[in-house]
Amino acid sequence: MSYLTITDLQKHYENYHALRGINLSISEGEFVVFVGPSGCGKSTLLRTIAGLESSTGGSIELDGRDITEVASSKRDLAMVFQSYALYPHMTVADNLSFALRLAKVSDAEIKEKVRSVSASLQLDALLERKPKELSGGQRQRVAIGRAIVRQPKVFLFDEPLSNLDAALRVQMRLELARLHKKLGTTMIYVTHDQVEAMTLADRVVILNAGQIEQVGTPLELYRQPNSRFVAEFIGTPKMNLIPANRILRNEDTLSIDIFGQQISFPANRLKGPLPDSVVIGIRPEHMSLVETDGDLTGRIELVEHLGSEAYAHLQLSSDQTIIIKAPARTELKDGQEVCIKIDTSELILFNENDRVISVIPEEA
Amino acid sequence: MTLNQQRKLKTILTGLFAWSVALVLFFPIFWMFITSFKTELQAISVPPSLFFEPTLDNFRIVQERSDYIHHAWNSVVTSFGSTIIALIIAIPAAYSMAFFPGKRTKDILLWMLSTKMLPAVGVLVPIYILCRNYGLLDSKTALVIIFTLMNLPIIVWMLFSYFKDLPKEILEAARMDGATPWDEVVKVVLPLSVGAISSTALLSIVLCWNEAFWSLNLTASDAAPLTAMIASYSSPEGLFWAKLSAASTLACAPIVIFGWFCQKQLVQGLTFGAVK
Amino acid sequence: MKRSITRLLMAPSVIMLLVWMIIPLSMTIYFSTIRYNLLYPGQNNFVGLMNFEFFITDPGFVPAVSNTLILLLSVLIITVVLGVMLSALIDKPFFGQGIVRVLLISPFFIMPTVNALIWKNMMMNPVYGIFAWISESLGFEPIDWLSSYPLVSVIIMVSWQWLPFAILVFVTALQSQDTEQKEAAQMDGATGWHIFRYLTIPHLARPIAVVVMIETIFLLAVFAEIFVSTGGGPGYDSTNLAYLIYNQALLQYDVGVASAGGLFAVLLANIVAIFLIRAVGKNLTV
């Protein structure tokens, strides 16, 4: 059953249409991540759910109650802000208990809740400090603690890790995942970092220009993007996109012409009619370098060694560059001519409107 | 000379220069202070005497002749009174303009500031006549009202520019924590603004304390603050420099010392936060 | 929050300032069109623009307007130019910086009446003043500042009061200047003068705008310094508009002419304000 239901949500600014009809339903206990490039509306969507921005159309329903017009203070949501937004004039303990004190919870109960939250976040020793005496990671923990202590219906996170350094970010990411497991509360998380989205989410919502581009589990998005936008947005390094000119159908295979070299593709994987031209998408790990008998040939431009693996940047005969994942100890040399073998079962075709026109077969 | 020595020399020269500028600018105040401890004869001696036996007679005479305490009390009442009233009026206005700005907010602020550009002489006559008709000439009430209105635009501006710089996310966090607008102001905005409100208050007090136009024109003796008392020493009844200096020292000392303690906030405040 | 509540919160300030502006101003306009002399009560008939004619043809009018503008411009130039130069020179760490700051700002806290008295008597007195003593020690004839150079004397007093403010604002602003930017310029071979001209001055544009605006507000209304020191004289040599109107109203009891003068002062202030707010307004973040 849907816990949080968003129906045709609109947000107009004076001369800017930030949310163009968002429809989304989130189940109880789900961890949903909104991701997209800057300006796509992900933060606006979160802030509209929080009630910090008013919507100009549509509705939001939480646990059977329409909260579209309810003040943020009465929505029973908690939010962790990018800047943490701790109250600088209050101690950590006061920051944690502020909401409870406003709600006139009894002193004994407040004390107990602050104690248990601070214990679980390792804040016990810091309770009497002011925010400015804390490190970035500690502030982050206080901000999270402040949200947890209220036991809200939904947690909202607005790019909470973006002010932390890389190492701390990985650590906090893990802690958030653990926290979600432990509390089981619904969480909505906004980020522009697709790694955070992939690692944390039960479901990822990809936004683009104020609209939902695709919703799905991280793996679905990775393997079966609906559009070129999603395909390019998810995955590092990016999916390779190669324009192809001619497609020939013979019996049950399609033969795609890439600069005079042919790749064949099972015709039953095509959905819809056959377009004149397509862009083929293939991820770096679905190609390999072979001695002979490749689908394409190219010249190595640069090899990036990451230790556990390597990425070879190749130039095709058309000057197009593609990236291929190679074994860690590859002996490849710059300038070397190589053959490329494509795993055609992972090939994705996009039409001229950048929509997907192929189906990836279910894994056996 | 090594680079290091060059740098040291530069620091020393900068220091010497800064000190000489400061001392030259401070000299008149220093001289006023010194003179207030001289006898009248020492005060006008040529060449000026720097070493003498200090006397406190002048201060005693000033108190006897002009009742310093009475005028100082007037200054305190008018400065603090009008500052408190102005703050009470200005805080809600600045709050609503900073956190809930409308299309007209900027116009309203500029209009407020433009009332400061209105020269006092332009309205001197009507105000004088209004005060006369309502029996408010030479009353502290009139001064408090006028000082309040005089400083209101600056106070609104200063508070506005401070409130505007408060991180909005903190207020949003409070809202998410279930704070009503009243909670927001009382439990978050005001505690965070103690510094700004006090430096605004300080500036307003300084401006009131030193205000001379209205004090000179609307008061005679009963309500005359220190600025007006000092002006009475300008009449050429002979050379009373030592007493004049003593009176001046007494009139300025409270506000100068007050200013020393909060000069940093004052400058920041007076530039409407434009200079950090 | 509701629109109406925001309005309600602003209402006291707006209404009070509106009343403070409109009532006296309309009274001034009314008075300026009638014969109104406190020495001859009961003869308040309408005279049209006669008061304006009297005020503008008053022998003090032209000197008062020009003195007002000269005073404004000279003090602005002195405080801004000296302020920028001095602050750039002392914007480095040195011994006793805190004390220097405190000494520097002090004149700003001195009330105008005391300011005028100190300068008039102890500094500028032709017989016993410090200036006289200095010129005599150097073998010059002492100058009677207040009677020979009355306007210059007033300019000195007012500048003394406002220079510290300018210095302090600029020093505070310079502390926020990007040191990496200066270092980059040094690496690029910029001299001290280049850095001052191309980095420091642009950085100070906003603070300068602020200083000009605040000083203008106060400088157009200089009154106590003149009242206490020169009394506007000799002749009209140091009379500004504020002092001339005061003279008409409270010394000659001619409310009608004083009101006409007041309106003229308002007009002048508005002309200055239009230029100023246009130039400075965009520099003040709203």
Residue C123 is classified by DSSP as: I
Mean pLDDT of C268-280: 75
Pairwise pLDDT comparison (B234 vs A346), residue with the higher score: A346
Within a 13 Å sphere around the CA of B62, how many CA atoms are in the beta-carbon half? 28
pLDDT at position C120, please?
85
pLDDT at position C24, please?
83
CA distance C108 to chain B (A): 9
Of the candidate ranges A168-172, B156-160, B235-239, C62-66, the one whose mean pLDDT is the lowest:
B235-239
Instruction: Name the 3-class secondary structure at A31.
Output: strand
pLDDT at position A26, please?
94
The answer on pLDDT for B276 being more than 60 is no
Is the pTM of the predicted complex or chain greater than 0.90?
A: no
The answer on pLDDT for B77 being more than 50 is yes
Choose the closest CB to A52 out of B167, B175, B178.
B175
Residue C160 and residue B231: Cβ atoms within 8 Å? no
Residue A102 and residue B169: Cβ atoms within 8 Å? no
The answer on pLDDT for A23 being more than 90 is yes
The answer on pLDDT for C145 being more than 80 is yes
Mean pLDDT of A187-203: 92
Rounded distance between C-alpha atoms, residue C81 and residue C212, angstroms = 11
pLDDT at position A91, please?
92
pLDDT at position A201, please?
93
pLDDT at position B121, please?
76
CB A156 within 8 A of CB A50: yes
Name the CATH topology of A240-350.
OB fold (Dihydrolipoamide Acetyltransferase, E2P) (2.40.50)
Query: In the structure, what pLDDT confidence band is assigned to residue C283 with cuts at 50, 70 and 90?
Result: low
Mean pLDDT of A345-362: 84
CATH-assigned architecture of domain C12-177+203-281: Orthogonal Bundle (1.10)
Closest by CA position to C222, among listed C55, C63, C21, C75? C75
CATH 2.40.50.140 residue ranges of chain A are: 240-350
C33-80 pLDDT, tens per residue? 888 777 777 777 777 777 788 788 888 888 888 998 899 999 999 999
The 3-state DSSP composition of chain B as helix, strand, coil percent (nearest 5) reads 75, 0, 25
User: How many C-beta neighbours within 10 Å does residue C252 have?
Assistant: 13
Q: Which two tokens stand for residue A344?
A: 């055609």
Rounded distance between C-alpha atoms, residue A242 and residue A258, angstroms = 8
Mean pLDDT of all residues in chain A? 88
Mean pLDDT of C270-284: 69
How does strand A278-282 pair with strand A261-266?
unpaired
CA distance B198 to chain A (A): 16
A200-234 pLDDT, tens per residue? 999 999 999 999 999 999 999 999 999 999 999 99
pLDDT at position A364, please?
44
User: At residue A62, what are phi and psi to the nearest 5 degrees?
Assistant: -125, 120
Q: Which amino acid is at A234?
A: I
A83-130 pLDDT, tens per residue? 888 998 899 999 999 999 988 889 999 999 999 999 888 888 899 999
- Domain residue extents for chain C: 12-177+203-281
The answer on pLDDT for B264 being more than 70 is yes
B163-214 pLDDT, tens per residue? 888 888 898 899 888 888 888 888 898 888 888 888 888 888 988 988 888 8
pLDDT at position C286, please?
42
Domains located in chain B, CATH noted: 3-57 (no CATH), 69-270 (1.10.3720.10)
B94-122 pLDDT, tens per residue? 988 888 888 788 888 878 877 777 777 77
Rounded distance between C-alpha atoms, residue B240 and residue B39, angstroms = 9
Query: In the structure, what pLDDT confidence band is assigned to residue C282 with cuts at 50, 70 and 90?
Result: low
Mean pLDDT of A161-171: 88
Residue B176 and residue A73: Cβ atoms within 8 Å? yes
C78-120 pLDDT, tens per residue? 999 999 988 888 877 788 888 888 888 889 889 888 888 888 8
Q: Does B237 touch chain A (CB under 8 A)?
A: no
Query: In the structure, what pLDDT confidence band is assigned to residue C218 with cuts at 50, 70 and 90?
Result: confident
Query: In the structure, what pLDDT confidence band is assigned to residue C2 with cuts at 50, 70 and 90?
Result: low
A276-320 pLDDT, tens per residue? 788 889 999 999 888 777 788 888 999 998 888 899 999 887 788
C231-263 pLDDT, tens per residue? 777 878 888 888 888 887 777 778 888 888 888
Sort out which chain A residues have CB atoms less than 8 A from B177's CB and list them: 73, 78, 98-99, 102, 146, 150
Query: In the structure, what pLDDT confidence band is assigned to residue B269 with cuts at 50, 70 and 90?
Result: low
Q: Which two tokens stand for residue A290?
A: 């072979």
Query: In the structure, what pLDDT confidence band is assigned to residue A186 with cuts at 50, 70 and 90?
Result: very high
A58-87 pLDDT, tens per residue? 999 999 899 998 888 888 899 999 988 899
Note which residues in 65-84 of chain A have CB less than 8 A from chain B. Answer: 71-74, 77-79, 81-83
Query: In the structure, what pLDDT confidence band is assigned to residue C179 with cuts at 50, 70 and 90?
Result: confident
What b/e readout covers C158-183, taking b as 16+ CB neighbours within 10 angstroms?
Answer: bbbbbbbbbbbbbbbbbeeeeeeebe
Residue A89 and residue B176: Cβ atoms within 8 Å? no
CATH 3.40.50.300 residue ranges of chain A are: 2-227
Percentage above 90 pLDDT, chain C: 10
Note which residues in 106-145 of chain B have CB less than 8 A from chain C. Answer: 106, 108-110, 112-130
Percentage above 70 pLDDT, chain B: 93
Q: Which two tokens stand for residue A130?
A: 């002011």
Per-residue three-class SS string for A224-256: CCCEHHHHHHCCCCCCEEEEECCEEEECCEEEE
A268-278 pLDDT, tens per residue? 888 777 787 88
∠ Cα A327 A329 A335 (to 5°): 85
Q: Does C202 touch chain B (CB under 8 A)?
A: no
Residue C285 and residue B274: Cβ atoms within 8 Å? yes
Which stretches of A41-191 are DSSP H helices? Answer: 42-50, 92-102, 107-120, 136-148, 166-183
Q: Which CATH class is domain A2-227?
A: alpha beta
Look up tokens 């642009």; give the residue.
C202
